[in-house]
Chains A and B, each alone.
Chain A
Amino acid sequence: MQFLSLIARNRLAAAGGIVLVIVIALALISPLLPLPDPDVTDTANRFLLPGAEGHLLGTDHLGRDLAARLMDGTRLSLAVGFAAAFFAAFFGAAIGIIAGYFGGRTDNLIMRAVDMLMAFPYILLALAIVAALGPGLVNALIAVAAVNIPFFARNIRGVTVGLANKEFVDAARLAGLGHTRIILTEILPNVIPVIVIAMSTTIGWMILETAGLSFLGLGSQPPQADLGSMLGEARGALITNPHTSIVPGAMILVIVMGINLLGDGVRDALDPRLRSGALTRPMAATQVRRKGPVPASEDAEAVLELQGLQTQFHVKDRIYKAVGGVSIKVAPGECLGVIGESGSGKSVTALSVMGLVASPPGVITGGAARYKGEDLVGAPYDHLRRLRGDRVAYIFQDPLATLHPLYKVGDQLAEAILVHHKVGKAEARRRAVDLLKQVRIPNAQSRADSYPHEMSGGMRQRVGIAMALANDPDVIIADEPTTALDVTVQAQILSLLNDLRRERGLAIVFITHDFGVVAQLCDRVAVMYAGRIVETGPTEAVLDAPAHPYTARLIACVPELGGGRRRLEAIPGLPPAVDRLEPGCAFAPRCLKAQDACRQGEIPLEGPGAREVRCLYPETELKSEGVA
């Protein structure tokens, strides 16, 4: 039922289905309609035009009624096409299930044969079969069905292989069921949707192919005529009497188009990946639909300043408030750590700055992101592009996925330079090699010609850092750059970043879920929870005496080497879903100290000096002389 309603919702598929039903109904009831006999020739009235008296669509080269012949031919074409699809599906599925279920030698032998058959351009095989069996509609049907069997066999085999090792099949085997029983009761029901998809996408082809063989004179033989042979017979009079060709040709087009529309609908309805609408591509820059006023710049010193930034994901009728008003700032040479669990919105915050949040579904809905005082939210794409990688650069997590797999790393580095600087290729290459040396990659000259998959994880991450440094930016936003690495490599990368910061006066925003990393590298830290900052302040002060209960619990989760027998306390519960945030403190449901007041109204982020906390009952009272 759900399946039918999905098809009905797809208007194109429904239209295709309706057209198809009408055509099939017409073809079926046509013997009952008051049409002339399709086989009666009347050479005196040949080539009558459509609309002639008694002949709705005119007559053909032998004076036979075209409308009657069209209905007859349609019935024949549909019957042959569906029959071919059925036989191809039946035998193909049988072969595929046997190969996939039994595996091993059987599978090998069958699939070799299938591969051989697929090595032919399909019509050559069909022609060879028709040549052997002789022209005729039944033989054409056999030929078309036969050449499509390998396609079904291969598809169904793939699905069956996946099923054959599932627990429920093993259970059936252990229960002592025979192979036939297992195939019919356990495998087949799971394979049928795949068969239906494969049929719905190939049946149009089958009708085209049988019509094609008939068109060539190898299918139905006179006086019997399907749509293909009607078209083939009419070809001789194409120039003098085009209507005799157009009538059957247009009918084939209508049928096949209807089937294809419906088939696409069936595929979309049965393929869950397409159903969820997952396949949308992100645009060049995140969409901006800003409500409310743009806040004015507050800090002229800051090189990067976020003010009440809000980013949401609009998925169907749900709104996920991934970033719910974040304000942070970084001065030149300063390193700010942004810490939080996965899903707390820290990465989305970082990506929002340069409009890199995937959109759709991402939308920036409020606040400002200022680079040297200039708001980048809603800035023209071209301006944004010129700043990206040049003034504000990113380092991403998992460099195997974030580096282009098919470009040499040297070329990827050179490209970062070339998009912002007018230099020659040789010069860009020289600088790229220099960058690789700076991030301490040995044999930089030859390493520049490596592909990402040829490097280790640590080396790839260094390439990622080199790429961020390519244009000597003012700000680097590093999104968990060391998470995928082992501890020694992580330490090297961190000290490398620290050196670069001191040498070049870089501002760094370092996103992580690791307090150890924050302690090592960051001057200040901001703790995020459910899309908002709950505590911020100088790293040492926050780590020594966390004020927000969440920060405290988060720190308690970190095991400490030689730290005695302190119990590691996991935080009970899960972070809230950001599409259904309750009023008040988002952490309240998991907080041991939560009072009724915590669940009401907006709780501000405030504090007397460098430290601020979003909590009514903080763990420690903040003093105004918070040491930086």
Chain B
Amino acid sequence: MTGYILKRLLSAIPVLFGITVIVFLIMAMIPGDPALAILGAYATPENVEKINRDLGLDAPLVARYFIWLGNMLTGDFGTSFSLNRPVIDEVLDRFGATLLLAGTSFILCAILGIAAGVVSAARQYGWADKGITFAVLLGISIPSFFLGMMMILIFAVELRWFPVSGMRMAYGGGGFADVANHLVMPAIALAVVATGVVARLSRSAMLEVLRQDFIRTARAKGVGEGRVIWGHALRAAMVSIIPVLGIQAGFVLSGAVYIEMVFQWPGVGRMLVDAILKRDILLVQGGVVFVAACYVLFNIAVDVAQSLLDPRIKT
């Protein structure tokens, strides 16, 4: 198992490398003098000279890439001019909040989505199935930012169950209860779409498995229907559900950008949008590379989970 994990980690290196190339190439599309583009409103002559020196901006494209990559490998993601602090510090400060939000949503979408899909498949064409199918359709059609706004209207303004926004730090501040209170609405709003997708796929994975011969064997043994569905069938269906969960993690991480804007959540997504509007290129670049790298590592964890679940995968 350790060997398998190491192998997967090694195979991630070219992917991480590719990610930096892609981000670098996208940023190289910016027309005009890169120094001026990066500095934007902060383009004083001293700054221009400093950034040209630091990032080798007058060097050829390939050399510039390796200077940038080398800097990142030593933990130097550059300096945010709009915030006047190192990019990596800002990203790390914000990442915890995003992780809390996206992580909670991810767990919600996995548990609720799989449960809904299993019930839907087990009661195929029954009322529960129809209800869930409709809810799923609604869930994957509603824009999460609109849903978030409606939740604020109903649950914060009208019913006053939860605070509108005002989450300052994901950790610290008002303690666990306060964080949890702030977390409920954004986490649910963010989870809805992914829950719908997971439910859909779980349903079809379960229908596929329930037709298999080993399900008939379980029934022939006298195994009860609950155990057939939630044990034998779900266990086998998980093999095709887990990769979907890995993809959904990416969607949850993406959707966090909208939800962080709606609920004023102090995460990386909001930071990125602010940075784009302020044309703080280095902050965008650093933030994107950091989050994408974390996502690649998460997907390795998904692969490892898959190999633990399916003995047929050679580790």
Contact = CB atoms under 8 A, between A and B. Distances in A.
A285 to B, nearest CB: 8
Given A123-B254, A127-B257, A131-B275, A252 B146 contact: yes
Given A127-B284, A388-B222, A242 B153 contact: yes
Contacts of A121: 250-251, 253-254, 291-292, 295
Nearest to A122: B254
A394 interface: yes
Contacts of B299: 119
A218 B221 contact: no
A120 B142 CA distance: 23
A423 B142 CA distance: 51
A70 to B, nearest CB: 14
B270 to A, nearest CB: 9
Contacts of A117: 22
Nearest to A245: B149
Interface in B199-227: 204, 206-208, 210-225, 227
Contact of A281 (B207, B239, B292): B207
Given A121-B254, A281-B210, A401-B214, A128 B145 contact: no
Contact of B217 (A211, A245, A253, A402): A402
B273 interface: yes
Given A127-B273, A256-B143, A396-B216, 6 more contacts: A121-B254, A123-B257, A385-B225, A387-B222, A402-B214, A451-B311
B211 A260 contact: no
B217 A119 contact: no
B8 interface: no
Contact of A129 (B26, B141, B225): B26
Nearest to B219: A356
Interface string A390-420: 1001101010011111110000000110011
Contacts of A235: 149, 262
A221 B21 CA distance: 30
A389 B217 CA distance: 9
Given A128-B284, A257-B137, A356 B291 contact: no
Contacts of A133: 29-30
Interface of B: 15, 18-19, 21-23, 26-27, 29-30, 121-122, 124, 137-138, 140-143, 145-146, 149-150, 152-153, 157, 164, 204, 206-208, 210-225, 227-228, 232, 235-236, 239, 250-251, 253-255, 257-258, 261-262, 272-273, 275-277, 279, 281, 284-285, 288, 291-292, 295-296, 299, 309-312
A281 B124 contact: yes
Interface string A485-525: 00000000000000000000000000000000000000000
Interface in A329-375: 351, 354, 356, 358
Please list the 3 inter-chain residue pairs (A to B) with the smallest Cβ-Cβ separation, ordered nearest first. A116-B18, A249-B146, A123-B254
A162 to B, nearest CB: 21
A17 interface: no
A173 interface: no
Task: Give the interface centre of B137, B142, B218, B310 by most chain A CB atoms within 10 Å.
Answer: B218
A458 interface: no
A124 interface: yes
Contact of A216 (B19, B206, B257): B257
B224 A419 contact: yes
Contacts of A282: 210-211, 215-216
A204 B254 contact: no
B138 A257 contact: yes
Interface of A: 112-113, 115-117, 119-125, 127-135, 204, 208, 211-212, 215-218, 231, 235, 238-239, 242, 245-246, 249, 252-253, 256-257, 260-261, 279-282, 284, 351, 354, 356, 358, 381, 385-390, 393-394, 396, 398, 401-407, 415-416, 419-420, 451, 453, 467, 470
Given A238-B149, A467-B221, A217 B277 contact: yes
Of B149, B204, B228, most buried by chain A (CB within 10 Å of CB) is: B149
Given A253-B143, A385-B224, A239 B153 contact: yes
A416 B254 contact: no
11 contacts: A132-B29, A249-B146, A253-B143, A279-B204, A388-B219, A388-B220, A394-B220, A396-B216, A404-B218, A407-B235, A467-B217
A260 B288 contact: no
Given A124-B288, A354-B220, A390-B222, A396 B143 contact: no
Nearest to B236: A406
Contacts of B206: 281
Given A398-B213, A405-B214, A389 B257 contact: no
Contact of A393 (B138, B164, B220, B275): B220
A180 B27 CA distance: 34
A212 B258 contact: yes
A261 B137 contact: yes
B220 A401 contact: no
Contact of A128 (B27, B141, B153): B27
Contacts of B216: 282, 351, 356, 358, 396, 402
Contact of B312 (A231, A351, A405, A419): A405
A281 B220 contact: no
A401 B27 CA distance: 52
Contact of B281 (A119, A131, A238, A406): A131
A129 B27 CA distance: 8
A404 B219 CA distance: 12
Nearest to A115: B15
Contact of A249 (B30, B143, B258, B296): B143
A405 to B, nearest CB: 7
A115 B16 CA distance: 11
Nearest to A281: B210
Nearest to A382: B224
B145 A215 contact: yes
A407 B132 CA distance: 30
Given A401-B213, A420-B222, A231 B146 contact: yes
Contacts of B296: 119
Nearest to A113: B18
A216 B277 CA distance: 10
B217 A280 contact: no
Nearest to A207: B143
A252 B22 contact: no
A385 B220 CA distance: 8
B239 A406 contact: yes
A131 B220 contact: no
A405 B150 CA distance: 46
A356 B296 CA distance: 45
Given A204-B141, A216-B257, A403-B214, A238 B222 contact: no
Contacts of B222: 385-390, 416, 419-420
Nearest to A208: B143
A218 B269 CA distance: 13
A86 B105 CA distance: 32
Nearest to B293: A119
Nearest to B16: A119
Nearest to A397: B213
Given A122-B250, A388-B220, A358 B288 contact: no
A403 B217 contact: yes
Nearest to A354: B220
Nearest to B273: A216
Contact of A116 (B19, B121, B137, B225): B19
A541 to B, nearest CB: 33
A112 B217 CA distance: 42
